[in-house]
Amino acid sequence: MLKLCARLRQQVPLESAQSTKHGVHRGMSSVTIPPPACMLRPLEAPFRYLFGPGPSNVPPRVLAAGGRPIIGHMHSEMFGIMNDIKKGIQYAFQTSNNMTLAMSGSGHTAMECALFNIVEPGESVLVAINGIWGERVAEISERMGAKVHTLVKTPGGHFTNAEIEQALAKHKPVLFFLTHGESSAGLVHPVDGVGDICHKYNCLLLVDSVASLGAAPLLMDQQNIDILYTGSQKALNAPPGTAPISFSERACHKMFNRKAKPVSYLLDMTHLSNYWGNDGKPERTYHHTGPVSGFFALRESLAILAETGLENSWKHHTEVAEYFWKGLEDLGLKLFIKDKDLRLPSVTTIAIPEGYNWKELLAYIMKHHRIEFTGGLGPSVGMLLRIGLMGYNCNKANAAMALAALEDALKQCRMSKA
């Protein structure tokens, strides 16, 4: 064997020379675009305190998990990790739903997965819009050919169960969408009783918990939520790119008895349910290459939540948020959500202080403190500032750091152009 290897090594230079002689070199000369200079330099990424609405800073333990050696996405060990993720999501969502998995993509991917699989062209959908996420769902549903009906309030507004029931009775939708944690306004929306009302009108309840999961109480089964999804990059503290989602039995019955296939092959739950071992078949078949490193990180973040305990996580986020809210009021700032019970613990919103240019405030804080805060999003642009303290970033030391940066900016940027 050693002699064979030696002969092969001797042949390589000769074969390479022959290849050049017979014209392979001419093929190489057709490369006219040189290597870009930026690709010949090492990757650089600055450290920043990500105190915006997400992504948030990732704990070392989760970063280490994501950096473990890659294994095949169809290896038995990978399936075992995916099974762990499913159980972790079931705990985080407080559900026993078998059809529980993580999407290969951001929370937006889970949003589209729910809509593409549940709604068919011509069916009615009711969307609660009090920020950007309702707007997105309405637009996606329209693109799919659904009949879209909306309940609309300005950012920070919320809907009573009576308002929701009245709209359900009028429009008779197959699906009602509600954002639990509306990060564009800093509002956590009441969910109690909404699922019962939806089922009274033979309607499924779809809830977005991207900004709220792990930070504010949410109980999928007890609150009769039919489809629930979240993102990895907020209070779960994993890198962006995976999105837990779960479907109730009612949702599965609607989803797997469609007249036509979903418009997206990638997001087709017929295939994804097999990839995640949820369809009862003995073997999983290839559908797409899942984000292996992303799943490693998600599994670790769910493990941290399980070790912490959901109720402890909710309590911790509330305590830090209340400490932060008091500090903001001591600075003379006004919280955008007046009702304390409707404030999202993970993302605090502040009314833009009178006489200040909000973009200048944010730029100053980023430049001098390396801290990211953000302005509004969608309909809340120009109305508020958003500061997120969630998961790994959720502690009083970070809250104090954020308050100090704000105080400094208010002194240095005073009475800029509005």
Q: Which amino acid is at 276?
A: W
- Determine the length of the chain: 418
Place of tokens 């984000």: 291
Exposure b/e, 62-88, CB count within 10 A at least 16 = b: beebbeeeeeebeeeebeebbebbbeb
Is position 386 annotated in a ligand binding site? Answer: yes
Rounded to 5 degrees, φ, ψ at 126 are: -110, 125
Is the separation of the CB atoms in 299 and 65 below 8 Å? yes
Q: Which amino acid is at 239?
A: P
Structure tokens at 58: 């990732």
Tell me how far apart the alpha carbons of residues 119 and 347 are, in angstroms, rounded to a whole number: 31
Tell me how far apart the alpha carbons of residues 141 and 180 are, in angstroms, rounded to a whole number: 19
Is the separation of the CB atoms in 205 and 219 below 8 Å? no
**Within the chain, how many helices (H) and strands (E) appear?**
14, 14
Residue 129 DSSP SS3: strand
Burial bucket for residue 256 (CB in 10 Å: 0-12, 13-18, 19+) = middle
Q: Around Cβ 127, how many Cβ atoms within 10 Å?
A: 28
Tell me how far apart the alpha carbons of residues 298 and 306 are, in angstroms, rounded to a whole number: 12
Structure tokens at 316: 């911790």
Is the separation of the CB atoms in 269 and 247 below 8 Å? yes
Tell me how far apart the alpha carbons of residues 387 and 373 are, in angstroms, rounded to a whole number: 5
Structure tokens at 399: 């809250």
Is the separation of the CB atoms in 404 and 51 below 8 Å? no
Q: Binding site, residues?
A: 386
Q: Binding site for substrate, residues?
A: 386
